Amino acid sequence: MPISMPPTNKARGFTLSEMLVVLAILALMASVAIWTIRPGADGARVAAEGLAARADAARNLAIVDGGAVALTIDSQGYFFERARENGWERMADRRLRPRRWASGVAPEGTVRLVFDRFGLATPALVVALRQSGGGTARVRINADGRVRVE
How many Å apart are CA 78 and CA 46, to the nearest integer? 15
Q: What is the pLDDT of residues 118-148, one digit of tens each?
A: 999 999 999 999 998 788 999 999 999 999 9
The pLDDT, as a whole number, for residue 1 is: 61
Parallel/antiparallel/unpaired status of strands 77-84 and 99-100 = antiparallel
Domains with residue ranges and CATH for the chain: 40-149 (3.55.40.10)
DSSP-based three-state secondary structure for 134:
coil
| pLDDT band of 34, cuts 50, 70, 90 | confident
In terms of C-beta density within 10 A (0-12 exposed, 13-18 middle, 19 or more buried), how is residue 37 classed? Answer: exposed
Best CA proximity match to 126, nearest among 30, 48, 15, 26 = 48
Q: Is the pLDDT of residue 100 over 60?
A: yes
Best CA proximity match to 104, nearest among 135, 79, 73 = 135
Q: Is the pLDDT of residue 72 over 60?
A: yes
How many Å apart are CA 55 and CA 126, to the nearest integer? 12
pTM of the model: 0.72
| Residue 113 near residue 122 (C-beta atoms within 8 A) | yes
| Residue 75 near residue 106 (C-beta atoms within 8 A) | yes
